[in-house]
Structure 1
Amino acid sequence: MNKLLILLLLFGLFACEEKDCCVVVDTDVQLRYVNEEGTDLLNPDNESAFLHENIKIYADKEGEKKLAINANSDYPNYYQLFEQEGTYVLKVFPTDELVNNEAISYIALSDSVMDTLRLAIKRSDHSIIVEKVWYNGVLQYNLATGATKREFTIVK
């Protein structure tokens, strides 16, 4: 009987232990590219579309552009390309290179088209979130203003 009581007491002690459970990571930016006529520039059926195989993400590493690759990631090239509601979307994830809580990525859509994506990132014990997004130096998203979606259409 004493052994059972000790066993129950031990279960009770360990059951009350608080554990850190989860970290919410919300850092992607979704981009749509169109020309001035509204043609989807990521849709491979369009003659003027950017070729998917040419899209690359570069990280800013100490002032130099380096191809961003992480073989252990779900998206090793730091982006996902998918179709949503009839248009193609380029979902970009920040690279691991953070300086002063900012990540700078360069989006190469072709050999001649490269844009800059800068993210201000806030880290806490239980979350990693994007507070601000600049695309080619223009503020596109600011969490402090109540913005909810980091989705933009870029005209090329």
Structure 2
Amino acid sequence: MKNSLIISAIIVLLIICFVRCSNSDNSPTDETVISLFTDFKIMNNKGEDLLNPNTEGAFDQQKIRIKHLTKNGDFVMFYKSFLNYPYDFFVFTTIYDKTNTFALLNQVTNDYIIENKITAIIQWNEMVSDTIVTQVHRGRNNTSKTKVWVNGELKEDIHNGLTPEFISLIK
């Protein structure tokens, strides 16, 4: 169980380390991004994995999209063709229970961090979505996640011991 978390954390951190964040004026930045991703398990009310294509009513991973709120107030579909994960997420299978985990990466530039928060809508399909707000802390040379809300409900808060391995969403 710990091995899969360590492996997924290392993979995401490596990906993020290779992604360069820039200011809107494309000037260089010395900011290093650390740990802005959040892992989710997506289940139905029977506890079945909705990212497994063999599950009835599963979400088609090829159709899942992420929209991020910009400073001008618009939600913009995330797609960056030059990234390894151009739609700002990836799905991996955990070793210990063989279920899928959805990793929301938050590979955003400063234009998407508003009052130290990143707001994303995960569009699972045409009818089902979730709003994820990630509060970030900006240090001199890093940016890290401190809190996560799902549809307005606090699910993660590193300063108060609320640090789940993943956030479960029932659809």
User: 1:92 aligned to 2:104?
Assistant: yes
- How far the C-alpha of 1:73 sits from its partner, in A, is 2.4
> How many pairs are equivalent?
136
Question: What does residue 139 of structure 1 align with?
Answer: 154
For structure 1, the residue ranges without an aligned partner over 5 or more in a row are: 1-20
Q: Structure 1: how far apart are the matches of 2:82 and 2:122?
A: 21
Shift of 1:103: 0.4
Q: Which runs of 5+ in 2 are unaligned?
A: 1-29
Shift of 1:150: 5.4
Select 1:81's aligned residue among 91, 98, 123: 91
Q: Which one has the bigger strand percentage?
A: 1
C-alpha root-mean-square deviation of aligned residues, in Å?
1.9
Identity %: 24
For 2:66 and 2:79, the matched residues in 1 are separated by 8
Structure 2 counterparts to residues 9-20 of structure 1, below 5 A: none
Secondary structure, aligned partner of 1:117: strand
Given that 2:41 and 2:169 are in contact with CA atoms closer than 8 Å, whether structure 1 keeps it comes out as: yes
Question: Are 2:68 and 2:75, in contact at CA under 8 Å, matched by a contact in 1?
Answer: yes
2:83 maps to amino acid:
S
Distance 1:99 1:113, change over 3 A: same
Q: Quick one: which amino acid aligns to residue 149 of structure 2?
A: W
Give the 4+ runs in structure 1 shifted more than 3 A: 21-24, 147-150
In the other structure, the counterpart of 1:65 is: 75
Deviation at 1:149, TM superposition (A): 4.1
2:159 alignment partner, SS class: helix
Q: TM-score, normalised by structure 1?
A: 0.80
Q: How far apart are the structure 2 equivalents of 1:98 and 1:114?
A: 21
Q: Is the 8 A contact 2:155 2:162 kept in 1?
A: no
